[in-house]
């Protein structure tokens, strides 16, 4: 067997001596009679391939090789002083442990241009197939033609990566010597499929449809499937202006292993400062237009109290650094956060090595948005719902809740009358008492409400609270007596009780103990064509044990009844159909009645961490009144009532 050729580093030697005849030598050289000297000259491509390049970070690469192709800096090289905060986002993206990078951003914070620059960097330094997904096809085609393609044709370094073929630059694909870049859009299953990519870019993910079609999985899940095959070195970038607190970018920000905020260095005291909107001051002026036109807003340093105008703010931004958010910080105890070197971006990455990270980029860390514009938008938002929507999503970069659907506790407590708890209104105004019961793991929350006669359905809160056991609940509902001021007794006609959760079997048994007086209830997912449907349950959940006689379960469109409840809360106490509270109703009740909000799809949502038990109980009391059809009961003495028919 021929001995192997000696190992020679041809990068450090211009002469390679072969003392043996390796198999890869042409035959005429292997059968040589004596020493032969052969000169070899490598082509440019071979030299580039064999040359060992020094690793540089994207923030170093961009100013050298990226030409800006649009905006006020068109034709110039990339300049970090324009968007200094994006330097950290670029470099953190290529930390070895990081796989998914999010950016919950305001507009004009450089995200789109920054991610395109990252694509140029990987094409030159770490090539691999890339897949960029936009909200719709028109946006995908426009971004490709007007932004991505010019970056490759106008940047000399990247222009050398084009193959020179006529099909290098197609509408939805860029073909390079090193890699392919595909463009797709979120509304198409076909566009999201059949591509395996090392690099994924999700642009404006809050504007994506939740599902491309009703038969398919979530769009974001289909998106992440595209880089499953790349176990090492793969990256995914998610960027979007937020819409709802339940939108994709807001959810990702809340679930990321680390969230980073941008800290700046005060030009006066030199200490690091976390820029927050609460420190933007504009004096006593409340006219948004005047604040904007006269540039009245200033940022007040939380460390030394110095005031920054836009020029000082821009100077502070240049020396900024990202730091991990302290999610356990209590703003009341620590109103001014203090810089911690251990939370600095790369110190945090090295210590914790997270896979999923997210950056928060509000408008005031961008030089393109003045402090006075931020303040002006806030002042306009105080009196205009649409302006509030803009301020929250486009300035603060936070999800927006329509404040028309969010009730205030003061407005709820204003519905109180002078009755003590437990007293039923008299003078023949009440037709029946009903109850709603919310089942919890440790207790049962209840509301007892009296409904009046007629279609107006005026109602009065009689009692609310918690019962530790079903026996205690039975005492509250059916044992205690509820009377009016004249001593007239009013029995409780029907209680609707939540039967879902860990105590379903107990609720079923409780309803069997009080047939016709306790109705098990289940909330339907989403909107339904009819408000309520009935079904018979024959066995206990999770078992084959038969329920003697079965149980009637009512499944209701909870959104329908919550719409009704929300509308009733808007009625003034003196108007027909008013929704009254007793005089002892407290803040705990009012806060639960304010917990939920209606999102842009018209569905009621409860923010994480907020209790909504009394809100659900009142909704179930409405269901009980609807099941009994109280509004159609004839008042005693009217035609059709039992008293009239008996006479």
Residue 386 pLDDT class (50, 70, 90 cuts): confident
pLDDT of residue 13: 52
Q: In this model, does residue 457 exceed pLDDT 50?
A: yes
Residue 108 φ/ψ, nearest 5 degrees: 60, 35
Angle between helices 310-318 and 371-381 (to 10 degrees): 110
pLDDT of residue 638: 66
Best CA proximity match to 494, nearest among 515, 464, 473: 515
**Cα gap 425→581, rounded to integer Å:** 11
User: What average pLDDT does the segment 449-455 reach?
Assistant: 95
Beta bridge partners, 259, equal 358
What does the chain come to in residues? Answer: 647
Q: In this model, does residue 447 exceed pLDDT 90?
A: yes
**Cα gap 426→428, rounded to integer Å:** 6
User: What average pLDDT does the segment 28-53 reach?
Assistant: 75
Q: In this model, does residue 146 exceed pLDDT 70?
A: yes
Q: Helix, strand, or coil here: 553? A: strand
pLDDT tens-digit readout, 58-74:
999 999 999 998 888 88
User: What average pLDDT does the segment 168-185 reach?
Assistant: 90
Pairing verdict, β 321-324 and 258-265: antiparallel
Percent of the chain, pLDDT > 90? 65
Q: In this model, does residue 295 exceed pLDDT 70?
A: yes
Per-range mean pLDDT, top range of 168-177, 380-389, 577-586: 577-586
pLDDT tens-digit readout, 472-499:
999 999 999 999 999 999 999 999 999 9
- Give the least confident one: 17-21, 408-412, 537-541: 17-21
Average pLDDT, the chain: 88
pLDDT of residue 403: 47
Q: In this model, does residue 515 exceed pLDDT 90?
A: yes
pLDDT tens-digit readout, 587-639:
899 999 988 888 767 788 888 778 899 999 999 999 999 999 999 999 887 65
pLDDT tens-digit readout, 317-329:
999 999 999 877 6
pLDDT of residue 368: 93
User: What average pLDDT does the segment 410-414 reach?
Assistant: 89
pLDDT tens-digit readout, 537-569:
999 988 889 998 899 999 999 999 999 999 999
Retrieve residue 6's tokens. Answer: 């000696």
HSE, CB side, 13 Å, CA atoms: give it for residue 617: 27
**Cα gap 172→190, rounded to integer Å:** 13
pTM of the model: 0.62
Element (H, E) at 385: helix 385-390
pLDDT of residue 513: 94
How far apart are the two ends of the chain, measured CA to CA in Å?
122
Angle at 323 between CA 322 and CA 327, to 5 degrees: 135
pLDDT of residue 14: 62
Q: Helix, strand, or coil here: 150? A: helix
pLDDT of residue 396: 95
pLDDT of residue 43: 82
Residue 49 pLDDT class (50, 70, 90 cuts): low
> Computed from CA positions of residues 625, 626, 629, 634, in that sequence, does the dihedral angle turn out positive or negative?
positive
Higher pLDDT, 405 or 101: 101
**Cα gap 468→445, rounded to integer Å:** 9
pLDDT tens-digit readout, 211-265:
887 778 888 999 999 999 998 999 999 999 999 888 899 999 999 999 999 999 9
Residue 385 φ/ψ, nearest 5 degrees: -60, -45
């Amino acid at each position: 067997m021929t001995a192997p050729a000696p190992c020679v580093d041809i990068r450090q030697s211009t002469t390679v001596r072969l003392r043996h005849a390796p198999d890869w030598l042409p035959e005429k050289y292997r059968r040589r009679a004596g020493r032969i000297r052969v000169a070899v000259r490598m082509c440019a491509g071979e030299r580039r391939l064999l040359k060992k390049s020094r690793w540089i970070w994207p923030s170093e690469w961009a100013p050298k090789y990226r030409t800006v192709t649009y905006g006020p800096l068109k034709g110039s090289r990339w300049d970090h002083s324009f968007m200094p905060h994006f330097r950290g986002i670029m470099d953190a993206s290529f930390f070895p442990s990081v796989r998914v990078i999010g950016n919950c951003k305001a507009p004009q914070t450089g995200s789109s241009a920054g991610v395109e620059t990252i694509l140029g960097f990987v094409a030159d330094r770490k090539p691999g197939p890339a897949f960029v997904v936009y909200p719709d096809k028109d946006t995908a085609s426009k971004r490709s033609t007007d932004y991505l393609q010019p970056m490759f044709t106008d940047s000399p370094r990247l222009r050398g990566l084009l193959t020179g073929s006529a099909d290098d630059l197609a509408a939805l694909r860029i073909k390079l010597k090193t890699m392919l870049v595909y463009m797709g859009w979120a509304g198409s299953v076909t566009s999201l499929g059949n591509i395996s990519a090392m690099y994924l870019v999700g642009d404006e993910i809050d504007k994506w449809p939740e599902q491309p079609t009703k038969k398919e999985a979530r769009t974001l899940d289909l998106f992440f499937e595209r880089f499953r095959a790349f176990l090492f070195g793969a990256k995914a970038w998610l960027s979007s202006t937020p819409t709802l607190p339940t939108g994709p970018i807001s959810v990702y920000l809340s679930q990321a292993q680390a969230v980073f905020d941008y800290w700046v260095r005060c030009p006066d005291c030199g200490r690091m400062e976390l820029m927050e909107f609460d420190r933007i001051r504009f004096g006593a002026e409340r006219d948004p237009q005047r604040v904007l036109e006269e540039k009245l807003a200033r940022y007040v340093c939380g460390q030394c109290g110095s005031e920054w105008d836009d020029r000082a703010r821009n100077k502070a931004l240049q020396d900024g650094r990202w730091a991990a958010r302290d999610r356990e910080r209590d703003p009341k105890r620590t109103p001014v956060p203090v810089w911690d070197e251990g939370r600095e971006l790369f110190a945090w990455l090295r210590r914790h090595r997270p896979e999923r990270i997210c950056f928060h980029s509000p408008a005031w860390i961008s030089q393109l948005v003045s402090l006075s514009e931020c303040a002006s938008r806030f002042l306009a938002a105080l009196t205009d719902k649409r302006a509030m929507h803009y301020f929250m999503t486009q300035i603060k970069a936070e999800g927006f809740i329509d404040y028309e659907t969010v009730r205030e506790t003061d407005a709820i407590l204003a519905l109180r009358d002078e009755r003590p708890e437990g007293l039923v209104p008299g003078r023949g105004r009440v037709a029946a008492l009903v109850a709603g019961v919310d089942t919890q793991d440790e207790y049962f929350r209840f509301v007892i409400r009296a409904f009046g006669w007629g279609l107006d359905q005026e109602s009065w809160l009689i009692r609310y609270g918690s019962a530790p056991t079903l026996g205690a609940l039975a005492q509250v509902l059916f044992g205690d007596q509820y009377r009016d001021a004249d001593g007239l007794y009013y029995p409780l006609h029907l209680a609707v009780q939540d039967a879902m959760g860990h105590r379903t079997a107990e609720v079923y048994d409780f309803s069997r103990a009080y047939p016709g007086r306790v109705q098990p209830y289940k909330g339907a997912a989403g909107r339904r064509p009819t408000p309520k449907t009935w079904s018979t349950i024959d066995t206990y959940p999770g078992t084959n044990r038969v329920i003697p006689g079965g149980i009637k379960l009512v499944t209701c469109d909870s959104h329908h009844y919550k719409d009704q409840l929300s509308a009733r809360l808007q009625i003034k106490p003196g108007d027909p159909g008013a929704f009254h509270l007793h005089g002892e109703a407290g803040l705990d009740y009012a806060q639960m009645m304010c917990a939920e909000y209606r999102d842009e799809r018209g569905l009621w949502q409860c923010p994480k961490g907020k209790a909504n038990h009394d809100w659900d109980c009142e909704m179930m009391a409405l269901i009980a009144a609807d099941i009994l059809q109280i509004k159609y009961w004839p008042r005693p003495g009217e035609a059709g009532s039992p008293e009239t028919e008996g006479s």
